[in-house]
Amino acid sequence: MKKRHEQKLIILSIGLFIAFSIPISLLFNSEKEVFGYPMLLVYVFAVWMLSIIISFVIVKKYDE
């Protein structure tokens, strides 16, 4: 894998850290419900899902 594509994954890692940290995580700290479920749980699992998809795409697309 080229350095550039490796760096995409590292940026993903930093992005995830920010997404789960204060203050971003606090934005979703609400008693409201999204799709009928607690907003924070939906947020956490959505980001988690997304990160799997992004890493899968990067790994498969730029595999050499």
* Contact positions vs another protein (CB under 8 A): 1, 6, 9-10, 12-13, 16-17, 20-22, 25-26, 29-31, 36-38, 40-41, 44-45, 48-49, 51-52, 55-56, 59, 63
CB of 20 to another protein, least distance (A): 6
CA distances from 28 to 6, 49, 57 (A): 30, 17, 27
**Does residue 54 sit in helix, strand or coil?**
helix
CB of 64 to another protein, least distance (A): 9
Rounded Cα distance between 19 and 2, Å, is 26
